[in-house]
Amino acid sequence: MGELLIGLYVFVLATLAGREVISKVPPTLHTPLMSGANAISGIAIIGALVVTGAADSTWVKVLGIAGIVMATINVVGGFMVTDRMLQMFRKR
């Protein structure tokens, strides 16, 4: 129970800190930041694959698959947003 509370505490603090940091980013830095976020999500996908593959519990496998799906959606969405923003700078 103590580990769950510590994990929840870290999650809430990370969420609040992340929201504060992202809200301060100017629009001109959005595309490079999105590329960095894609790289981090790619690492999260690899980590989730490793954890899910080594899991013995069904609950851990379900959470691992959910993590893989969410990180994959983030990577694909990030590439779509980055591509769309870069199209704005191309000559017609």
In SS3 terms, the chain reads as CHHHHHHHHHHHHHHHHHHHHHHCCCHHHHHHHHHHHHHHHHHHHHHHHHHHHHCCCHHHHHHHHHHHHHHHHHHHHHHHHHHHHHHCCCCC
What pLDDT, in 10s, does the model give residues 31-79?
Answer: 677 777 777 888 889 988 998 999 888 988 998 899 899 989 988 888 8
Cα separation of 16 and 23, whole Å? 11
- Count CB-CB contacts under 10 A for residue 71: 21
pTM: 0.62
